[in-house]
Amino acid sequence: MQNLSVINNINCKHLTCIKGYVCKENVIPKLLIGEDNYHVIAPLQIICGSKNEPYATRCKLGWSIHGYSGRTHTPATRSIFYLAHSDGEVLNDLITKSFAIDSIGISPLRRENKDHIRAVDILDKSFRKVNEQYEVCLPFKSDEFILPDSYDNALSRMISLNKKFNNNRDYANRYSREIKKFFDEGYAREIKGSEQSSGPDLYNSLFGIMLRFRTHPVVIIGDIKDMFLRIKISPDNQHVFRFLWKDPDAGDDAPIKVCVMQCLIFGATCSPFIAQYVKNKNASMYEDLYPEAVKVILNNHYMDDCLHSTTSIGEAIELIKNITEIHGHAGFNMRSWTSNSKQVIDCLPNESLANSAIQLKDGATDVVERTLGLMWHPSDDTFLFNISFNRLSDNVLNGSEPPTKAKMLSLIMSVYDMQGFITPITIKGKIILQNVHRSGVGWNCPIHIKDYECFLKWLNDLKVLAQLRIPRWYNNTGTWSDCYPQTESGDPDRIINTEMHIFCDASLKAYAAVVYWRFIRTDGKVFVCFVTSKSRVSPLRPLSVPRLELQAALLAARLASTVRTEHTDITPTRRYFWTDSKTVLQWIRSDPRTFKPYVAHRLGEIDELTRVIEWRYVPTGLNAADVATREDAPPLTIDNQWFQGPAYLRLPEVSWPADLCSSEEIYDEVACEQRSVNTISASAPTDLASCLPDEERFSSWKRLLRSTARVLMFVDRCRRRNVTFNVDLMSRAEELLLKKIQSDSFSLEIDSFKQKKSVSKNSRLLKLTPYLDERHILRVGGRVDKADGVSYNACRPVIVDGRHKITQLIVEDYHRRALHGANEMVVNEIRQKYWVIRLRPTVRGVAARCLFCRHRRAAPHEQRMADLPQVRPQHHRRPFSSAGVDFFGPMEITSGRKRVKQYGVLFTCLTIRAVHIELSESLSTDATIMALRRMIARRGTPEILYSDNGTNFRGADAELKRSLQELNFDRLQDDGLVRGIKWRFIPPGAPEMGGAWERLVRSVKTALKVVLKERAPHFDTLSTLMCEVEALINSRPITHVSTDPNYPEALTPNHFLIGTSSSGTPYGKYDNGDLCNLGKRWRVAQRLTDMFWSRWLKEYLPSLLPRQKWNSEAKALSVGDYVLVVDPQLERGSWRHGVVSAAHAGEDGRVRCVDVRTRTGVLKRPVTRLALLEV
């Protein structure tokens, strides 16, 4: 079979007339027609060509091409297609669906996979509101996919549909009205889909909704109209919902329209997920405004149905109003409301009511409402069952002929009972079906007479169900029984205690579990009501009765867990699990690991879901679940034990069946399931202290305590004692550890007490009046026993030695529990239980060793202040020969109609402390170079320049070096224009090393703040202001200012720059004769300069001698030291940890800068920004 597009490449003029009918590319055959349907493919017309050319035939199905295609090589392929149909597949699906319904409430929840997570993520990102409706994207499994061309299939179906329209005008009109509704409502449009992910299951538990539906007296039920259609799809994804449409009334010549759905459609894989997501997302937005209504929407909606029960009529009306409003914000129309309260229905308009509610409003009493598969009678608030026997013929019903296996299965699986109201009846049907299946009867063969007789009895039980009425509300199922005397005052109808009772039982045919509530009121009356039940037929592979009883116990544990989880408004104070199997009880009360895998695995799950003390024994005759496991169960009525619960539940607990006493006797059924264990006997000392863990191997009191408890558990189980890991076991472990402390530290005192002697006068415990209590533990003989409200442990604390390892672990635990607080707080807390010898030294020692406290107390490292660098004390040198540079700012200036930022660049002479200020537009490398060039032009080239580690300075250094290399040729050298600048950088985070310029930056900022007052001047104003601030700073005295008028004025940087302290000093008047004495005047100026430097050496330099701080010698950091990197921008708890990888010593040999290796890399930091941790 070849692609028909080859005709395009063949010169077949005789086939040109039919090319439009047959030439389709990439078409895959969908159906093969056999020779037994020759009348369909018989030729009606033949078009032939020349020899070796293909020919065409027309049959009832259209045109076909046959013969040579022009290819020299045609690969031979052979395909065989089989189409098989079996009624068994449909029946198997029916059984699968029925079992799925039965598993609701006891099966594990599905886990989300990566496709589900992707689906939620797509909806989170695309969720938006468009014209009062929400719009989302479809959750495709992948971003790139190609949909096959389906136009031909759609066109073929459209043509077939039009033929059907022509034959059935009524069908055509109804179909056309629905499609027209889509266009009128905007759900679809004409235009001039599977790679979708189903998404996670966002459905609420149907089982849980029905349980909560029975909690309160007043019921509200509603429905969202056209829920799917009210959710828009993003225009980018609408192409997957294309369809063809032609109005049947438009005539044969009307064109076929290509249309697209703009909203969710029924049947799309992702539609339920998207609908639930939008509903829940919209409701969550109003959680603060309507918390109760949002809770109902999120928890008690199943798809578009709302089922909820409330405590009062007013609450019900308010909820209906709020739920409708919330849904209205999403474009959902909440309608079809109904209730069991006529007052609620009367408050709602007819257009928002269901048909059944309107009938109730008009006075009808026989209205039945179908809700989530159950039939509910609003007038008397009961559930009912209406079984349809239409699937069976009259001959089967009257006993004339047996049904086929398929017919019988169809009826058995049609009985819907999700909550297990009629489990004793439904389990009979399933047992009959299992027996028929064992007999080997085919699906379309009549069942055996023996099975048919059982089936007829079961049909009679079904017919009785028509009279059965089951109250919906838990508290409306009978009368309250006197049980206890009234213990509290107040409302006698108030429920003060709620118990859950779960019964389980099994037989060779089936196993089941049933749950009851037991309510106790203030007046002492008791009420028992049916909750739910689940059952299973026994597996086809025979199991022993004890194993089936164990399956029933597991079913009960799972069902109880689900009921407890789903009931948000009912919290049982206690649970009781009842079984009539002594074997199962002994299994549950034993260690699961001692049994074979089948029993061990199920006991392990039961142990996770229940507690051992919750299981009790009940005789078979009183077991409510027994009726759901028998084939000969009595007819089901509302008054029997199945619905009312065992009679003894209405009596006080002392009248309940006695539980089994713990016995060493092992039943045969228990023994046959136990593992075979090789036992090794060994003698061991009776003193448990020798079995305790070594305290030296532990760093935590809780770990030592738990390990000791595990040792005790092992010892008890070796002695065949049933023990669990609980508080009592932990108390025993603590007692043993305290005895170990005392036996190690106070053995002499303990021996004296055992010999009934007094304590030695040299004993450390003499002043404490010690004694051994009934547990043989040393305690303080206190003097404050008569103090009211003081515990026994506080009056007579346990004596322990502070030097013992276990005691130190206890103190460390109290230290951590006190959140590493003050030592006295820890001392006070310990004294409430223990009397620790040398308590305060022990607490101080623990706090000193605490790593967290060390971190918290760690202080930055200090090193003795270093000597001044060589450039600072140099004299008789040109100002700014050695300088430091730093940026400050930003400052705003006005430029036109906007404001821009300017930065200040401060250069300071490290010798005379003069400053030079430039303005820069940015902190970039280029701006730094330009500012440096301007400074050099006016102050001369510095020989050495100091700065911090800013990226702009680093970049400027590299740029200058490159420029010097590029400009270093002979002509420029001759001109002497190029002088190299040595650039030195202080370590990162060491502002104190740049104090020479940091202090002057502060002075400049102070002056600017006074003058600018946060104004934004023009550039000219700011640059002028900078020059004046520079002059002001340079006129400050750097030596002592004397009060003696005869003493020379204080030395200032200006003396070295302009020869006077202030730029405002007036110049003298000179005549022409002064020109003849220039040489002399030059010598005078030179002499003045020497005088300034002489004063600088005598007055300024000595002021630099003292070290103002960091005077003490500190331990030098070395490679391998563990340190904290101090960061003033972060909290102490966020400081990074690191290890010193390299140490850099200064000229005096002291380490002032180190490299620190952290998780993020290697940092270079001064020692003043590091805190040494002694680990």
Q: Which residue has the higher pLDDT, 934 or 86?
A: 934
User: Residue 550: its pLDDT value, please?
Assistant: 93
**Tokens 């609420």 correspond to what residue?**
204
CATH code: domain 882-1064 is 3.30.420.10
Tell me how far CA of residue 306 lies from CA of 220, 223, 368, in angstroms.
8, 6, 17
Assign 1050 a pLDDT band (cuts: 50, 70, 90).
confident
Angle between helices 405-414 and 423-439 (to 10 degrees): 160
Three-state DSSP state, 474: helix
pLDDT in tens, 134-191: 777 777 666 555 566 676 677 777 777 777 877 787 887 888 888 778 777 777 776 6
pLDDT in tens, 430-458: 888 888 888 888 888 888 888 888 888 88
pLDDT reading at 925 higher than 80:
no
**Which of 493, 477, 481 shows the shortest CA–CA distance to 531?**
477
Assign 557 a pLDDT band (cuts: 50, 70, 90).
very high
Q: Which residue has the higher pLDDT, 685 or 53?
A: 53
Arithmetic mean of pLDDT, 759-773: 83
User: Residue 973: its pLDDT value, please?
Assistant: 34
Assign 515 a pLDDT band (cuts: 50, 70, 90).
very high
**Which of 445, 469, 447, 470 shows the shortest CA–CA distance to 532?**
470
Residues contacting 1014, CB < 8 A, separation 6+: none
Mean pLDDT of the chain: 78
pLDDT reading at 548 higher than 90:
yes
Arithmetic mean of pLDDT, 411-426: 88
In angstroms, rounded to a whole number, what is the distance separating the alpha carbons of residues 227 and 968?
A: 82
Element (H, E) at 1034: helix 1019-1034
DSSP, res 371: E
Amino acid at position 978, single letter: V
In angstroms, rounded to a whole number, what is the distance separating the alpha carbons of residues 586 and 546?
A: 11
In angstroms, rounded to a whole number, what is the distance separating the alpha carbons of residues 14 and 12?
A: 5
Q: Which residue has the higher pLDDT, 266 or 710?
A: 710
pLDDT reading at 622 higher than 70:
yes
In angstroms, rounded to a whole number, what is the distance separating the alpha carbons of residues 1038 and 1093?
A: 13
User: Residue 615: its pLDDT value, please?
Assistant: 94
Rounded (5°) CA angle 127-129-133 = 110
Assign 112 a pLDDT band (cuts: 50, 70, 90).
low
CATH code: domain 477-672 is 3.30.420
User: Residue 1013: its pLDDT value, please?
Assistant: 66
pLDDT reading at 347 higher than 80:
yes
Arithmetic mean of pLDDT, 252-262: 80
In angstroms, rounded to a whole number, what is the distance separating the alpha carbons of residues 423 and 626?
A: 11
Arithmetic mean of pLDDT, 257-285: 83
Assign 681 a pLDDT band (cuts: 50, 70, 90).
very low
**Which of 135, 145, 154, 172 shows the shortest CA–CA distance to 247?**
172
Amino acid at position 408, single letter: M
pLDDT in tens, 1077-1090: 545 555 555 555 56
DSSP, res 366: -
Per-residue tokens: 834: 């223990």
- Could you tell me how many residues make up the chain? 1175
pLDDT reading at 684 higher than 60:
no
Q: From the CB of residue 755, how many other CB atoms can be counted at a distance below 10 Å?
A: 7
Backbone φ and ψ for 996, nearest 5 degrees, come out as -60, -35
In angstroms, rounded to a whole number, what is the distance separating the alpha carbons of residues 959 and 732?
A: 76
User: Residue 890: its pLDDT value, please?
Assistant: 84
In angstroms, rounded to a whole number, what is the distance separating the alpha carbons of residues 1132 and 682?
A: 56
Any alpha helices (H) in 822-908, and if so which ranges? 823-830, 839-849, 851-857
User: Residue 639: its pLDDT value, please?
Assistant: 84
Assign 1024 a pLDDT band (cuts: 50, 70, 90).
confident
Amino acid at position 714, single letter: F
Weakest-pLDDT range from 508-512, 956-960, 1100-1104: 956-960
DSSP, res 517: E
User: Residue 574: its pLDDT value, please?
Assistant: 92
User: Residue 563: its pLDDT value, please?
Assistant: 92
Weakest-pLDDT range from 94-108, 149-163, 308-322: 94-108
Percent of the chain with pLDDT over 90: 11
Q: Which residue has the higher pLDDT, 1137 or 837?
A: 837
pLDDT in tens, 24-71: 555 667 677 777 777 778 888 888 877 777 888 888 778 888 876 555
Rounded (5°) CA angle 655-661-665 = 150
User: Residue 78: its pLDDT value, please?
Assistant: 54
**pTM (2 decimals)?**
0.50
Angle between helices 545-566 and 597-609 (to 10 degrees): 20
Assign 688 a pLDDT band (cuts: 50, 70, 90).
low
